[in-house]
Amino acid sequence: MKRNAFYLGLFVFALSCYQYFKAEPQQTQVAHVSGPDFTAELLQSKVFNLKGQLHYVLDSDYLERFESRNETVFTRPSILFYPEIGDPQWRIDALDGVMREDNLAIFRNQATVTNLQPNPQLERLVSKELQFELNQETVHSDYRVDLYGPTSHQRGIGMDGDLASETVSLHQAVKATYLNENK
């Protein structure tokens, strides 16, 4: 009987030690990486203003839509801005782009704005990254920006511009070169 009590006590002791020293189960959290909600190739999207007039046309080689982030990622996006009447006035191109729900488009890698009007003072604007508020037709950059005109080249860091009024303001480290065509 003593022997059985000894083994029972040893068993209870071993069981309690096991319960006390056993490792807590590791709870591994798997990062939820989700892919895009949908994709498209060779997309063209036409956006109209409240008057029913064509405001801009967005073309892209490829896009991925992420609903959880409320953004769309583009490969080789291009936007043509239209005035109320007539042909497009501005074309914006880049290698990469992101459009958010608040109508902010961010174009990266060789972001270029080209003036399509005849005889413009500002022909082209180039930067590493350009941000566009699509409803207001404003453009902003915190990076180096190069402005090209028929007789000038300007460069600066940071820029704000308004495509509708055709104004651009460079913020700092501005350098300009003007060509004198009179010989």
Q: What is the pLDDT of residues 36-94, one digit of tens each?
A: 888 999 999 999 888 888 989 999 999 999 998 899 999 999 999 888 788 889 999 99
Which domains can be identified in the chain, with CATH numbers? 38-178 (2.60.450.10)
Q: So what's the pLDDT on residue 155?
A: 94
Q: Which residue type sits at 107?
A: F
End-to-end CA gap in the chain: 122
**What is the C-alpha separation between 57 and 181, in angstroms, rounded?**
37
3-state secondary structure 47-93: EECCCCCEEEEEEEEEEEEECCCCEEEEECCEEEECCCCCCCCEEEE
Could you tell me which residue, 112 or 183, shows the higher pLDDT? 112
Structure tokens at 136: 């207001």
Looking up tokens 């270029």, which residue turns up? Answer: 112
Q: So what's the pLDDT on residue 170?
A: 92
Q: What is the pLDDT of residues 119-164, one digit of tens each?
A: 888 899 999 999 999 888 899 999 999 999 999 899 999 999 998 8
**What is the C-alpha separation between 93 and 130, in angstroms, rounded?**
10
Q: So what's the pLDDT on residue 9?
A: 57
Structure tokens at 171: 């913020």
Q: What is the pLDDT of residues 1-13, one digit of tens each?
A: 655 555 555 555 5
**Predicted confidence (pLDDT) at residue 182 exceeds the cutoff of 90:** no
**Predicted confidence (pLDDT) at residue 25 exceeds the cutoff of 70:** no
The CA distances from residue 83 to 56, 86, 116, in Å, are 9, 6, 12
Q: What is the pLDDT of residues 78-117, one digit of tens each?
A: 999 888 788 889 999 999 999 988 889 999 999 999 999 8
**Predicted confidence (pLDDT) at residue 15 exceeds the cutoff of 80:** no
Q: Please state the φ and ψ torsions of residue 10, each to the nearest 5 degrees.
A: -65, -40
Q: So what's the pLDDT on residue 108?
A: 95
Q: So what's the pLDDT on residue 1?
A: 60
